[in-house]
Amino acid sequence: MAATRAVLRRMLSGLGEPYLLLRLGMADPDHPGPAHTPRLRPEQTIEPT
């Protein structure tokens, strides 16, 4: 990602270093995309207080 960082540095005009870049867009409806990752049940991750 060095090229992307260099472009962002030029765009920032010396104000600082790029920290975060978000890419937004629409998913291709004809492409299924990656499989969903399994999730733990809330009881396995949340401790009652």
Structure confidence at residue 1 (pLDDT): 72
Position 17 scores a pLDDT of 72
- Can you tell me whether residue 2 is helix, strand or coil? helix
pLDDT, position 24: 84
pLDDT (tens digit per residue) in 11-46 = 888 787 777 778 788 888 898 888 888 999 988 888
Exposed e or buried b per residue across 18-49, where buried means at least 16 C-beta atoms within 10 angstroms of its C-beta: eeeeeeeeeeeeeeeeeeeeeeeeeeeeeeee
C-beta separation of 35 from 26 below 8 A: no
Predicted local confidence at residue 19, as pLDDT = 77
Question: pTM for this one?
Answer: 0.34
